[in-house]
Amino acid sequence: MEPDFWKNKSKAEKTLKEKKIYEELTNSFEYSQNQLNEIIDLHNLALEENNKIVIKETENNLIKLYKITKKNEIKCFLSHEADILDTYLEIHAGAGGTESQDWADMLRRMYTKWALSKNYKCQLISEHKGDEAGIKSSTIKIEGDYVYGFLKSESGIHRLVRISPFDSGARRHTSFASVWAYPVIDESIKIEILDKDLRIDTYRSSGAGGQHVNTTDSAVRITHIPTKIVVQCQNDRSQHKNKETCMNMLKARLYEYEFKKKEKELKNTEESKSDIGWGHQIRSYVLHPYRMVKDNRTNFESSSPDKVLDGEIDNFLESSLYKLND
């Protein structure tokens, strides 16, 4: 370890985090190898003795070991410098009023439940409530190992088909909402932001936040003029802290902007952002007339939409990672 290792606290923490992850992968690989050898030896012995109970037991253990190995394989796909980072998740309701606003809230709940099931930390950064129900937009921050790597493929338009709970005629409605994931940039990734390129506005909070809501201009909105990227934060009592969070979010958005630009994907991304509707969805969640969730990019399907909406989205995330690494 270098003598001045702890002088840069954030860099040191990142290094230790990476070290922990690599050690866990290495240890898990060695464990899997040892387990596999033990299973093979026991299976061969059981075959010689025709012990059907032990044969079945070794087969079940092999299935469990396979699942562990697949999870480690997924982590090996997360090799981009930003994959290890935390993420901002931004959700916007599409056209359609209360229907889409309720759908946006359902998506936020889905990702929050997924994160909590992994023991990740969730923080509400900003929220604009719907007129009658749901949310018009919301940004949450999720902290944990490889969060951005897992959620980056969730960026896009999500479509819901259901019998509307807001329609007295019980008619079927189609709603849209957009989800956009951005990495929480640390100090090792340099992003230059010029003061002349910023417009900073303050306003009174309108969502959740405690007694200070609607009493002080603590909420902050920053517009990056060259790219027209807008970020906002209202979760803290302090205008200064909200501004600091906004600047961190802006760095994340600019990083993602440049990354997509280099990959020549920015044009398609911005076009889909401007039209949250038909022809752009990455995934469809159908609750009526049949029950199915289907990812339009990987063709992965689930016939249990209730479980998916309760946060069981690992299979969708993993199938997207496999698709990216084909």
pLDDT digits (tens, 9 = 90+) for 89-123: 999 999 888 999 999 999 999 999 999 999 999 99
Question: What is the architecture, at CATH level 2, of domain 81-326?
Answer: 2-Layer Sandwich (3.30)
The CA-based dihedral angle spanning residues 125, 110, 134, 182, taken in that order and rounded to the nearest 10 degrees: 40
Question: What is the pLDDT, as a whole number, of residue 274?
Answer: 53
List the one residue out of 149, 145, 155 whose CA is nearest residue 89: 155
pLDDT of residue 271: 54
pLDDT value of position 257: 84
Q: What is the pLDDT of residue 209?
A: 44
Residue 197 has a pLDDT of 95
The residue ranges of the chain whose pLDDT is under 50 are: 208-214, 265-266
Closest CA to 125 of 96, 91, 75: 91
> Amino acid identity, residue 132?
E
The DSSP element (H or E) to which 122 belongs, if any, is strand 121-129
If residue 61 lies in a helix (H) or strand (E), which one and from where to where? helix 52-77
Find, among 40, 36, 69, 68, the residue nearest to 54 by Cα: 40
pLDDT at 210: 42
Phi-psi region at 96: left, alpha or beta (left = phi > 0; alpha = psi -120 to 50): left
pLDDT score at 211: 42
Q: Which residues contact 23 (CB under 8 A, 6 or more apart)?
A: none
Please state the domain extents for the chain. Answer: 5-77, 81-326
Q: Residues 89, 125: contact at Cβ < 8 Å?
A: no
- How far apart are alpha carbons 48 and 44 in whole angstroms? 6
Distance of CA 34 to the CA centre of its chain: 34
- What pLDDT shows up at residue 235? 85
* Other beta carbons less than 10 A from residue 24's beta carbon: 13
3-state secondary structure of 273: helix
**Other CB atoms within 10 Å distance of the CB of residue 170:** 9
Element (H, E) at 92: strand 87-93
- With a CB cutoff of 8 Å and minimum separation 6, the contacts of 216 are 204, 237, 239
Distance from C-alpha of 103 to C-alpha of 138, rounded to nearest angstrom: 12
Reduced to 3 states, what is the DSSP secondary structure of residue 156?
A: strand
Query: What is the C-alpha to C-alpha distance for residues 323 and 308, in angstroms, rounded to an integer?
Result: 20
In DSSP terms, which residues pair with 137 in a beta bridge? Answer: 92, 128
Going from the C-alpha of 154 to that of each of 39, 94, 278, 302, 319, the distances in angstroms are 38, 16, 17, 16, 12
pLDDT at 277: 59
d(CA 86, CA 32): 28
